[in-house]
Structure 1
Amino acid sequence: MNRFATRALTAAMLSLLALGASAQDLLIRNARVHTAGSQGTLENADVLVTGGVVRQVGAGLAAPAGAQTVDAQGRPLTPTLFGGITGIGLEEVSGERGTVDAALGLGADTKQMTVRPEFDVTLAYNPASVLVPVARVEGIGWTLLGANTTSGGSIIGGQGAVVRLDGDPDPIGGRVLFVDLGSGAAGLSGNSRAAQWMILDQLIDEVRGRIGPDANAALLTHAGRRTLARYLDGGGRVMVDVHRAADIRQLLRWSDRHGVRIAIVGGAEAWKLAPELAAAKVPVFVDPLGNLPANFDQVGATMQNAARLHAAGVPVSFAQSGDGSHNARKMRQLAGNAVAAGLPWEQGLAGLTTVPAQALGVGDTVGRIAPGQRADMVLWSGDPLEVNAVALQVWMDGRAVPMRSRQTELRDRYLRPRVPADNGGLPRAYPSGDTRR
């Protein structure tokens, strides 16, 4: 039986066991529970959910009256996974500008540059996006909405936040700020990465009042000053896309000088500064597939980046360098490759669960299977870090969500057997009686 048939059969079985999809009381029995927390991995364990929250994790738990019961048959159960930094719900078709809301176009004239950190992409989030179930059926339960600088004008892209892929329109946790540094952003800073530090220092001076809001060279609006002030002195997290070790060194000095709580995205050469990053408690969101010098900022790229960072005590998570919005499922592949290159398996899972949850300030809500956590979980056919494993069932707040998406519906539609010749001349993809042309 192929993987699609296995997935469909098991999902159907689970659906029959969980007929009341709106109910939130659930007991999952006999699972290999990867708690991603202090309990580690538990064999033949049960998870009890009431009111949409995990209440108990252990062996031999009793189901309350009326609770749905699912026998996991020893399969792996994990928290729902982090989808990376994406535009899920902020875009539908990347090439259709009218469906993309993740960047603020300011123009590339640095003589009249205005920095707008108050730009908040979460205001455009669409929980009904077709990309939400596409990611969710693959075990992705939450993502960080990213603000990027692709439209030009500023090395500060704006703000984003974590959203759960459960249909809720509102983010969880606080906002994070996105900054691009290095050669890739040099065109936004007078074609010199040195100017990036000049711009960042000026922004600090404006927030601190050392440059007045009416100065000719002021870069920030009043709203921008208020926004940036929240990220100083240990405030909200600042996600910095940067790769070169020399730039990361300057970033550590700058963040320490101004009390900015940073995380690094990309960090192809971060392993070279692993002790310094560990001492500063800076999490790094790496691309474990980056092993070639794609540019001069990544000469030291290696697939052992995640393993070396972890060995030094750096919190490690993952970020895709490509189109993560439409391919969030590849996050599992990134984690699996990091494990193949030396990262311990449990840390590979942590990079998809607890590490990003803690780094982004939502660790009390998602990222673990533990009492008090939201019951966002995934039952897998096999090792979740192997690409041949599939999500058999996803629960959000203890509810079994439909394991369907636009992609699975198209797959099923076009895999139907050829219809009889008397089907009114319709193509074989249409069932008999369908009048659509």
Structure 2
Amino acid sequence: MSRRLLLTALLLAGVLGVPAAAQDLLIRNAKLVLGGTATARTADILVRNGKIAAIGNGFSGANVIDAQGKFVTPALFAGITDIGVEEVSGERSTVDASLSMGQRNVNPIIRPEFDVTLAYNPDSVLIPVNRAEGMGWSLLSAGGGGVSSIVLGQGGVVRLHGDEGAIGPRALFVELGSAGAGESGNSRAAQWMVLDQLLDEVRGRIAPTSQFALLTPAGRDTLRKYLNGQGRVFASVQRASDIRQLLRWSAANKVKVAIVGGDEAWKVAPQLAAAKVPVFVNALNALPSNFDSLGTRLDNAALLAKAGVPVSFYFDDMQSHMAYKLRQLAGNAVANGMRWEDAFAGLTTVPADAMGVASRVGNVAVGRDADLVVWTGDPLDVASVAERVIMSGKDLPLRSRQSELRDRYTAPLPDPAAGQLPRAYD
């Protein structure tokens, strides 16, 4: 029995962990959606060496996929998640997204150099679960853990295929408003005092040897990159007044920012549009959950996009195990007044541009990685599913741990007379 179990495990690893062989593909009759526009045209896509080689008609290829006029899109953004740095949220040994460093009198408690992408596991069981639903990439987020700091650490973009690690610039995560007040002397006003001190340390106004210094040498080097425009600060913030203060702070310090949450962002939509600040919203939030979100409304995404704000989506609790439901948020935003093309951009070009990885993901264009999805219908309709998922030109099996368990426990009962193992082990 143990030999058969080992063989089953090896076969399962072969299904989930080993990518298909590289091949040239020709996708015919695709209803092609080019990134963040609603314009769809029927065309063929030629894929060579894992890249999109040509888009048009009249091509030939050895491996042909007939899309039959169905939507073909870039692999979608899976949101801001812990995919690959978390397996089971309740099992601490499998969670690498948060940092606990002890008390202030022992170590500096603000560690912006903490980078969760260094723990990314490309063999995580969460990856095929979400990839089979058409999700191709995610922004890993740093969590707070037990650290008394509004600066949570760094994350980065990972593609849900292969083991190349994070791509593009890093993102620094900070927590503002009432959610971060407990880490800043129980006052949101002190958050700006702390952030200003950190920048003063980076600029040399506070000596590294000062008893008041909060940063390590590596922390100063990390923050210096964001002052030099080599990354974006993702601020979790909801209240309109806090968003206004964030805009003033970022403009004064020339720091690129993005907003995660923004339940009241619609109140300051013109200012956000003028500053070109992307906002990642939960389009299912309909009622306030705290005093920072009294202005919550279902058409938040629609109002922001109408004002010219780049809008993408996120779940409040990250939902790494079900990141594929981000499509539902986009569809819900459309149901509440957002244009289809703006919602689709929120799953493709907007997050790619915000994270500086638009040359790799989020669009269908010659020279891009061939990360493509063939859908049974409208990709923003939850009744549609991914029919084919192609990553780097490889047509991947739509299998995951869930589908393997389903098949194991729904297999026909064995024949006891033939000495077969129970179906759970077969």
TM-score > 0.5, shorter chain as reference: yes
Looking at structure 2, the residues matched to 425 and 53 of structure 1 have their Cα atoms a distance apart, in angstroms, of 46
Of 119, 127, 140, which residue of structure 2 is paired with 1:145? 140
CA distance in 2, matches of 1:96, 1:265: 26
**Cα deviation digits, residues 299-347 of structure 1 (max 9, x gap):** 1111111100000000000111124211111111111111111111111
Q: Secondary structure at the match of 2:322?
A: coil
Q: Who is 1:26 aligned against?
A: 25
* Residue 61 (structure 1) aligned to one of 53, 58, 61: 58
Distance 2:242 2:36 in 1: 34
Structure 1 stretch displaced more, 276-285 or 233-242: 233-242
Report how far residue 192 of structure 1 moved. 1.1
Preserved contact between residue 110 and residue 153 of structure 1 (Cα < 8 Å): no
Segment drifting more, 415-424 vs 359-368: 415-424
Return the match for 1:289 from 279, 284, 289: 284
Whole-Å Cα distance in 1 between the matches of residues 407 and 105 of structure 2?
A: 51
1:307-318 matches, cutoff 5 A: 307-318=302-313
Match of 2:12 in 1: none
Distance 2:208 2:321 in 1: 41
Residue 91 (structure 1) aligns with: 86
Matches within 5 A, 1:165-184: 165-184=160-179
Give the 5 Å matches for 1:32-431: 32-36=31-35, 40-58=38-56, 60-64=57-61, 67-107=62-102, 114-422=109-417, 427-431=422-426
Percent identical: 60
2: CA distance between counterparts of 1:37 and 1:57? Answer: 17
The answer on whether the counterparts of 2:46 and 2:55 sit within 8 Å (CA) in structure 1 is: yes
* Amino acid corresponding to residue 163 of structure 2 in structure 1: D
Q: How far apart in 2 are the matches of 1:382 and 1:214?
A: 61
Secondary structure of the structure 1 residue equivalent to 2:195:
helix
Counterparts of 2:97 and 2:158 in 1: how far apart (Å)?
14
**What amino acid sits opposite 2:146 in the alignment?**
S
In the alignment of these two chains, the number of paired residues is 408
Give 1:99's aligned amino acid.
T
Alpha-carbon distance between aligned partners in 1 of 2:420 and 2:50, rounded to the nearest angstrom: 49
Displacement of 1:372 after TM fit?
1.4
1:230-254 C-alpha deviation (Å, 9 max, x unpaired): 1014331111110011110110001
Quote the Cα distance in structure 1 between the aligned partners of 2:420 and 2:59: 56
C-alpha distance in structure 2 between counterparts of 1:61 and 1:367, whole Å: 25
- TM-score normalized by the length of structure 2: 0.92
Offset of residue 386 of structure 1: 1.2
Amino acid at match of 1:55: A
Runs (4+) of structure 1 exceeding 4 A deviation are 107-113, 423-428
SS in 2 for 1:327: helix
Could you tell me which amino acid in structure 1 is paired with residue 64 of structure 2? Answer: T
Which residue identity lines up with residue 142 of structure 2 in the other structure? A
Deviation at 1:106, TM superposition (A): 2.8
